[in-house]
């Protein structure tokens, strides 16, 4: 590993909230819009520091996004944050037409994303938003892996021009990057070198990917390259193509549906530039359920063990030839 060590746990939402304050201190045209959940998505940090630049719109995501667009078109750097289930889907029309069609300088913070929202259940466990958002022209989509990266990513989207969406969660997740860990929008980072297989992950699945790689090395001598693909759009085609060519097979891992998310984005790059066998770790075309975060990650196979098993499978496919026939029974189906 590149001096990557676990430093405890911390929430990505705190990284988002603290970065907003830093942006506000640096740029006096940063404005933030919130609903009635500012304490949940940590926009309360900005509200406390810059009350004159914070606007509470109430439980009205569509209105907040439209107002943010107007402010952005008037020269402001406009942030709005709510739960991803609402920030991405309830105001889908506003994101598409008001924000992206106008290429407005609006930044959306999608909080409480993924299965780890836990007890809130399926309605609040946003597992499909990346597939929608990355299809929108002009939209940048970022899924940071830990607190430090969430902070860097928030500052980065605040200092770029154009629409952007950052996805972060509620629960504490492993903290393993540092202030010195490289981060550039649109540039995937190789966190572990290897040439037998490439594991491409984003968000909270990056740490399990590193754990799986260590177990593969310890148990079987397999050297897995682990890539933190934090920016889903624009995607780093160069790094991914290089991994496909040098490793010969790829596993993707995400806290998201296997359809349309990171795995699909990587597959689009690979099939065009260097077709190799791929396996996908993620939600298998089903909704979540209520439970504690760790229980749900285990139930839906969003862990290092699932990445480990998928890695063995994809290496076997590579060894059998890149053009192996895949039976229809291997396509993910809805599981009751």
Q: Say what the pLDDT of residue 267 is.
A: 98
Number of H helices, E strands in the chain: 13, 14
81 inside domain: yes
β pairing state of 197-201 and 224-228: parallel
Question: What's the chain's average pLDDT?
Answer: 93
In the DSSP assignment, the letter for residue 273 is H
Percent of the chain beyond pLDDT 90? Answer: 88
In the numeric block, the tokens 């780890």 are attached to 116
pLDDT 10s digits, 13-43: 999 999 999 999 999 999 999 988 888 899 9
pLDDT above 90 (res 4):
no
321, 309 Cβ separation under 8 angstroms:
no
Percent of the chain beyond pLDDT 70? Answer: 95
Q: Say what the pLDDT of residue 3 is.
A: 61
pLDDT above 80 (res 321):
no
Phi/psi region, residue 109 (left: phi>0; alpha: psi -120 to 50; beta: rest), is: beta
Q: Say what the pLDDT of residue 6 is.
A: 85
| 167 phi, psi to nearest 5 deg | -105, 125
288 inside domain: yes
pLDDT 10s digits, 200-257: 999 999 999 999 999 999 999 999 999 999 999 999 999 999 999 999 999 999 999 9
Contacts of residue 298, Cβ cutoff 8 Å, sequence gap at least 6: none
Could you tell me if 153 and 23 lie in one domain? yes
Neighbours of 268 (CB within 10 A): 13
120, 289 Cβ separation under 8 angstroms:
no
3 inside domain: no
336 inside domain: no
Strands, sheet with 54-56, edge to edge from the N-terminal-most edge strand: 54-56, 30-34, 77-83, 106-111, 164-167, 140-142, 231-233
pLDDT above 80 (res 332):
no
Alpha helices (H) along 221-273: 237-247, 262-273
Task: Identify the domain containing residue 78 by its residue range.
Answer: 9-174
Could you tell me if 141 and 197 lie in one domain? no
Count of the separate structural domains present in the chain: 2
Q: Give the global pTM.
A: 0.92
CATH of the domain at 275: 3.40.50.920
Could you tell me if 22 and 158 lie in one domain? yes
Could you tell me if 58 and 110 lie in one domain? yes
pLDDT above 80 (res 322):
no
* pLDDT band for position 59 (cuts 50, 70, 90): confident
Could you tell me if 230 and 126 lie in one domain? no
3-state SS class at 111: strand
CATH of the domain at 26: 3.40.50.970
Q: Hey, which bits of 9-142 come out as E strands?
A: 9-11, 30-34, 54-56, 77-83, 106-111, 140-142
Closest CA to 193 of 135, 242, 133: 242
199 inside domain: yes
Could you tell me if 213 and 276 lie in one domain? yes
Could you tell me if 264 and 302 lie in one domain? yes
Could you tell me if 224 and 265 lie in one domain? yes
What does the alpha-carbon distance between residue 310 and residue 253 come to, in Å, rounded to a whole number? 10
Query: CA of 57: how far to CAs of 62, 74, 96, 174, in Å?
Result: 10, 19, 20, 33
Could you tell me if 136 and 272 lie in one domain? no
Of 141, 174, 207, which residue sits at a domain end? 174
Of 105, 140, 174, which residue sits at a domain end? 174
* pLDDT band for position 333 (cuts 50, 70, 90): very low
Q: Say what the pLDDT of residue 109 is.
A: 96
pLDDT above 50 (res 167):
yes
Contacts of residue 245, Cβ cutoff 8 Å, sequence gap at least 6: 274
């Amino acid at each position: 590993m590149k001096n990557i060590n676990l430093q405890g746990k911390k929430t990505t939402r705190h990284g988002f909230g603290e970065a907003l304050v830093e942006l506000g201190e640096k740029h006096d045209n940063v404005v933030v819009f919130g609903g009635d959940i500012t304490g949940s998505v940590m926009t309360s940090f900005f509200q406390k520091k810059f009350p004159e630049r914070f606007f509470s719109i109430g439980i009205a995501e569509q209105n907040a996004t439209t107002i943010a667009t107007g402010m952005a078109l008037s020269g402001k750097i406009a942030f709005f944050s709510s739960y991803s289930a609402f920030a991405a889907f309830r105001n889908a029309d506003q994101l598409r037409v008001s924000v992206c069609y106008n290429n407005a300088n609006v930044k959306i913070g999608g909080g409480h994303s993924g299965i780890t929202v836990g007890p809130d259940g399926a309605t609040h466990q946003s597992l499909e938003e990346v597939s929608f958002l990355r299809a929108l022209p002009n939209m940048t989509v970022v899924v940071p892996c830990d607190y430090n990266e969430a902070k860097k990513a928030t500052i980065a989207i605040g200092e770029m021009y154009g629409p952007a969406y950052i996805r972060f969660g509620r629960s504490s997740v492993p903290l393993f990057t540092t202030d010195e860990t490289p981060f550039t929008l649109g540039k995937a980072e190789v966190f572990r070198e290897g040439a037998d297989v490439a594991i491409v992950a984003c968000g909270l699945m990056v740490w399990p990917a590193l754990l799986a790689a260590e177990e593969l090395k310890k148990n079987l001598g397999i050297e897995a390259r682990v890539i933190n693909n934090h920016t889903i759009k624009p995607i780093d085609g160069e790094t991914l193509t290089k991994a496909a060519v040098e490793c010969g097979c790829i596993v993707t891992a995400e806290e998201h549906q296997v359809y349309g998310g990171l795995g699909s984005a990587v597959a689009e790059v690979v099939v065009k530039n260097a077709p190799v066998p791929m396996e996908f770790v993620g939600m298998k075309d089903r909704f979540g359920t209520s439970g504690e975060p760790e229980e749900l990650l285990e139930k839906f196979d969003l862990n290092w063990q699932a990445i480990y098993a998928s890695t063995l499978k994809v290496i076997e496919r590579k060894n059998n030839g890149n053009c192996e026939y895949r039976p229809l029974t291997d396509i993910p189906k809805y599981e009751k």
